[in-house]
Structure formats: C-alpha cells, structure tokens
Structure 1
C-alpha cells in the first residue's frame, strides 16, 4: 500500500523548508501569497493532508494552552434521530462503551444524525470539518440500508457491525462464524443428535447469516448423515413453515436468531423447552434471558474507538484499499435451555 505523502515530501517538491510548507498550509501572512498558493497546489498533487492530532499538539505548544477534548463523531442514519437506541429495538448498543473508551484517549464522542431536516452529505461533511471533527464511527445502519455517501477522503472512519457494505470500511464486529461453531460443539458434547437452524427474525446484515450458515453446515459433517437436517425454509421463516419443517424433521435442538418468537411457536406445538427441545440464541435479546453466545457491546464500541484513533494518528483517511476486520469472540452463557441430553 502506498505510503501517504509527508510534510518533507512537499518541502522537497516545492524546493522550500518544512517550516515554509507548514506556514503556507495554515495561510500564515509571513509567507507571500504566491508561495502559499504554489505550496498548496503541490500538497494537493502529492495527496498530503494535515494530521489533525499533530496540528492540535503544535497549536497547543505555540499558544501555551492545553488541547481541549477533541471530538469524534458517532454517525447514525435511522429514520428517527434516536432510532438506533435500545429502547426502539433490541439490537446491542455500542455507544456507551465507545464514549468511555474515547474519554480514555482524551476525546469526546458526539452523536450526529444524518437524517437532520435539510441535511445533505456535503453539508454534513462541511459541518464536521468546520468543527474540526476528523474521525467517524459509523453506527449500525437500519434494516434494508447498506450504503452511505460521504466525502470519505476528509475523514478517518471505522464502521460497527456489517450493515455498511458500500463503501467497505475498516470495521469491528462479532465473530459470527465462531458463534455457531461454539453452539454446535455444545450441542454435540451434551448429546443432542439433530440440531436444526432457522432465521425466526429479519437478519439486518445478510453476510452475518452467511457466516452462521457456513459454520452450521460445516459442523453438520460431524454428525451421521441421517441426522443432518436441512435449514428451516425462509429468511426469515414464518410460523406455518416452521411448523411444517419441525414436524417433518423433529430436531432436538434449535439454533435461532430470535428466541422469543421461537418460544411462542414451540408453545403452540405443545413442545417444552428444554424438556422436548433445546434452544441456543445466536443473538442475545433483552426481553429473554437465554442460553447462547454473549458479546459485550461495550467492548465492541471500545475496539472501534481504538482502531479509529490509530487511523487518525497515522493520518489514514478515506476508503481503505484493503479493509481490516476485527472480530470479537463471544462468551458462552447458560440459562438452562440446553441441558445435557439423557438417553
């Protein structure tokens, strides 16, 4: 990957001292205007960008005043300003953990809503730049939305989860493949012979479902052929299709993304959990404590801040040519929904 241009590169190309470049880029009156214009043009041609962290530090040294808390932006685009908050849905909330970790680095993390009345991508970017905000954390997008149009070259940016697919940024997400891998291992260890898989609710990121299914189908090869069940039809399925599939294949354990819906469907079939069938939740839902893999949203939010601060220190902006993905492995939690199976 090509290294970004440095202040020294601009100075060599312009045939001037580093100090002249620095003052020119800050429009200092000590430098003649023709020189400032020429240096800026060379900096643009070389792709040089001022590192906001270094700039703030130098300003602090010149003025003798400590650097105030720099701000980072937590960007959301739900239909309503706070539609991303847990009281409006049951997805994890990464914001509090990100706020705390940002504070550790001396930053203030502020929420910005792309859906403000009259807001446009250009106006949004100009507003952030005017406030000296150079780092963005992109929150999970609402169901059905997978792209954002911003002037990415102006910012260092990290995405949370896998809902943003265009552009593909560096991002932090749960280790979804390992989620199902762990679940299938537990089923087999505890004597379950016919674990099944279903999407009982909408999966807001199809690539998450692909990873779940990849682990499930691979793990099925560890079971005898007669006990390998087809995935329940539908993404998401409905109660009628689930009933038909369940009665035909009689799974003894179920891996599911929304256990609350599943519990109602099993009750209608006069099936008891865990007496008749075990249940593993692939996503922990607030309204139901269940057996499954738990991911601490505070850790995910904190990891996003750590990655973003690293990008800003290295002055890496724009859409990366090679995106990095950090996967957080989850923790198995019990709640008596997958007890050891008796013969």
Structure 2
C-alpha cells in the first residue's frame, strides 16, 4: 500500500542490532570444494578466506557446519540429504579448483542461497566474492615501475592464471605496454618443481624485477647466484603470514571471506533462493606492502646492460 522504508529508522535499527550480542540466526554450510580435505587449512589464502567468513558469520549470529564435497565415503545425493536434514539455510563454497562445480550438487544451489568465495564461477552462476586480481596485478606492476625497474617480468602458472580469467597476465601486459619494446618481456609459465624453463626464460630476457605468485622463485634465483634485491627485484601477488619480508600485494583474504558471508547473509534475510538471474560479485582491493625484496633503483636505465641477471 505504498510503504517506503524510512532510511533514518533503518539506520537506527541497524545500530541497535550491532550493539547487542548476536543471537543464533541459522546454521550455514561451508562446502570444501578442494580436491584435498586439508586445503582449507593448509593453503594460506584458503585459510584466511575461511577465517574471515567464520568471524563474520559469528558477528551475524550464524553457526557453520563444514562438509567436504569430494568425500569418497559420501555420495553427492547423500551429502545433499544430510545438508537438508540439518536445516542448513545457506551455502558458502570455498576451495574450488577451476570455475565449475560438479553438476551432481545442482539441487543445492537450486534450493538454497549460495555464494562462492575466491573465483568467478562459470557454473553455477551464483554470487561470489574475490580479490580484484586485475587490480592486484596492475597495482603491483605500477609500484615496481615506480621504484625504477625498467624491464619487469611475470612468472605465473597458466592454470592459476586461467582460473582467474587471465586477469593477472592481462593486467601485466597493460601495465607494461608503454615500456620500450625491448623491455617488454613475455610471461613465463611457471612449472612446479621444474627450474629449467624458468632459468632459460631468465637468461634470455634478463628481467630486472620479477612479479610472481610462487614462493620458489626466490630460491631458484638465489641458487643461480642472483641476489634479491641487489641483482633482481621480487614482488609477490598474494602475501600472507607465511611469507616474511617480501614486497608485493596483500590480498587481505580475510576481507574476501567476510564479504562472501555478507552476500550470503543478505540473500537469507531477503529470502532469496536458487540460482540468481543476475549474479553479483564483490571485489576486494589488495594493498601494497613495501617489504625488502623490491627497492628504489639507481641508474635503472643501464640495468639492461649489466651482467648480473645473466647469472642464472
């Protein structure tokens, strides 16, 4: 009958609720979509997502039950039945390796509010929260260039870049597009446990700084006689407590998990169920961390002629 919410009253009610200890609201399911059940604890970024989501859930009055989607002892139909029998009100999915979830679990997202944390899903097309990977790469590369590096290179595993729709490599090319052609270096495909492809790329292109997601690059550089940051700068795209001293971007993954929980809570309060017609995404900006592995350069214009980088 023409009712319109009063924003002043709504603000007051929000403040009153925020000042109270949250009462139990509902139970949510955290679906571990990783191939290994330990990944949500052992992979630092995944762990920070879960910590942020769990903290936010507690603030909102939700409890969380955790399930592993790939448990060989529980078939998908059985897991769906368990979730429904427990009166679960919403789903938070984390640890997805790729952009698609198994269609055997479709009845879950068709019936319950659901949010994916970390990546944009191709299927199911539901709400998600993630770091803004394009912005992360752009900011990192620009910080490196601002320090005086003139020929930075990117080392990244193609599978990882593909999961985020190649945002890392795309943003790197944009950030370095204005460099002289001789200083534009092709992306190096990281291969786990294989140094030789990296060494060959490093010898051929002689980058004066490397941007990467992979911790082992520093060890490979130092094994080749290259000092960080004296001979080559180094920046990480996903800093965390497990990486000390590096320069790079902290993706603030706890905030990604918290944002995902806010998306899920909103759906529950609005009684929205099923796959949404227009999926929403929340992107969290990372922050630059100065660190010690990338430093202000002197005489950067002469760096391409030095022999230090050829030592790999």
Q: TM-score range by the shorter chain?
A: 0.7 to 0.9
Number of residue pairs matched?
273
Q: 1:250 aligns with which of 199, 203, 206?
A: 206
C-alpha change, 1:118 and 1:268, in structure 2 (3 Å) is closer
Measure, in 2, the Cα distance between the counterparts of 1:123 and 1:323.
28
Contact 1:140 / 1:163 at 8 angstroms: preserved in 2? no
Greater Cα shift, 294-303 or 190-199? 294-303
Contact 1:255 / 1:279 at 8 angstroms: preserved in 2? yes
Q: 1:312 aligns with which of 225, 247, 268?
A: 268
C-alpha change, 1:163 and 1:268, in structure 2 (3 Å) is farther
Name the larger-Rg structure.
Answer: 1
* RMSD between aligned residues: 2.4
C-alpha change, 1:81 and 1:215, in structure 2 (3 Å) is closer
Q: 1:298 aligns with which of 254, 267, 274?
A: 254
C-alpha change, 1:90 and 1:163, in structure 2 (3 Å) is farther
C-alpha change, 1:233 and 1:70, in structure 2 (3 Å) is closer
Q: Does residue 83 in structure 1 map to residue 39 in structure 2?
A: yes
C-alpha change, 1:202 and 1:284, in structure 2 (3 Å) is farther
What is the aligned partner in structure 2 of residue 95 from structure 1?
Answer: 50
C-alpha change, 1:269 and 1:134, in structure 2 (3 Å) is same
What is the aligned partner in structure 2 of residue 70 from structure 1?
Answer: 26
What is the aligned partner in structure 2 of residue 230 from structure 1?
Answer: 186
What is the aligned partner in structure 1 of residue 130 from structure 2?
Answer: 173
Q: 1:282 aligns with which of 213, 237, 241?
A: 237
Q: Secondary structure at the match of 2:116?
A: strand
Map 1:27-42 to 2 at 5 A: none
Q: Does residue 187 in structure 1 map to residue 141 in structure 2?
A: no
Contact 2:211 / 2:234 at 8 angstroms: preserved in 1? yes
Q: Secondary structure at the match of 1:91?
A: helix
Measure, in 2, the Cα distance between the counterparts of 1:80 and 1:246.
33
What is the aligned partner in structure 1 of residue 170 from structure 2?
Answer: 214
The Cα offsets for residues 37-64 of structure 1, whole Å up to 9 and x where unpaired, read as xxxxxxxxxxxxxxxxxxxxxxxxxxxx
Contact 1:291 / 1:337 at 8 angstroms: preserved in 2? yes
Task: Give the superposition deviation at 1:326.
Answer: 0.8
The Cα offsets for residues 301-335 of structure 1, whole Å up to 9 and x where unpaired, read as 11111100111122222222322111100011121
Q: 2:101 aligns with which of 143, 147, 153?
A: 147
Greater Cα shift, 152-161 or 93-102? 93-102
Measure, in 2, the Cα distance between the counterparts of 1:237 and 1:85.
23
Structure scoring higher RCO (CA < 8 A, sep ≥ 6) equals 2
C-alpha change, 1:146 and 1:237, in structure 2 (3 Å) is farther
Which segments of 5 or more consecutive residues in structure 2 lack a partner in the other structure? 1-22, 300-312
Contact 2:118 / 2:129 at 8 angstroms: preserved in 1? yes
Which segments of 5 or more consecutive residues in structure 1 lack a partner in the other structure? 1-66
